[in-house]
């Protein structure tokens, strides 16, 4: 593995961890926002969440996808095993949950059970991706 591949892998793991952490905290904030009383509190939280989504989550997501794509091609990971297909499926599902969280931030809250389900699914899928990456890195 070349130095560039090591740096790229480090960048991918770092941005993946931060992206997953931000998505988890965003989904938690959406669930907890249902407990706020005043409209001004909800508006302030929504504004903060929109900024985090636009200026932190999306740029990191782009970097994570680019570095992950490079890692797939550089290591020829598809030819070495079938676990990567599962990881990519989980990543696509997380992207869908990220879309639902972003929609909830902009449009308004979902019903409580659905918001909690999204939060739990972010945790389960994120844990599954990390488990696959640690158990079978390449």
Residue-wise pLDDT for 4-28, tens only, equals 989 998 999 899 899 989 988 888 8
Distance (Å) of CA 136 to CA 21, 76, 83, 102: 22, 14, 8, 31
Is residue 127 pLDDT above 70, yes or no? yes
Tens digit of each residue's pLDDT (9 = 90 or more) over 40-67: 888 888 888 889 988 998 999 999 999 9
Is residue 83 pLDDT above 80, yes or no? no
CA dihedral angle for residue 58, residue 63, residue 64, residue 70, rounded to 10 degrees: 150
pLDDT number for residue 30:
80
- Ordered by start, the domain boundaries in the chain are 3-135
* 51 vs 57: CA distance, rounded Å: 9
Asked whether the whole model's pTM tops 0.85, one would answer: no
């Amino acid at each position: 593995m070349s130095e560039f591949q090591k740096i790229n892998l480090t960048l991918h793991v770092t941005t993946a961890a931060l992206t997953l952490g931000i998505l988890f905290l965003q989904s938690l904030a959406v669930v907890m926002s249902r407990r706020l009383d005043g409209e001004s509190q909800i508006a302030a939280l929504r504004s903060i969440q929109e900024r985090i989504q636009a200026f932190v989550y999306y740029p990191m997501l782009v970097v994570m996808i680019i570095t992950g794509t490079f890692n797939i091609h550089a290591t020829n990971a598809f030819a070495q095993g079938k676990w990567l297909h599962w990881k990519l499926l989980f990543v696509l599902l997380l992207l869908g949950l990220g879309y639902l969280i972003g929609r909830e931030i902009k449009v308004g809250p979902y019903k409580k059970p659905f918001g909690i389900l999204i939060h739990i699914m972010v945790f389960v899928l994120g844990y599954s991706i990390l488990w696959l990456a640690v158990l079978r890195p390449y």
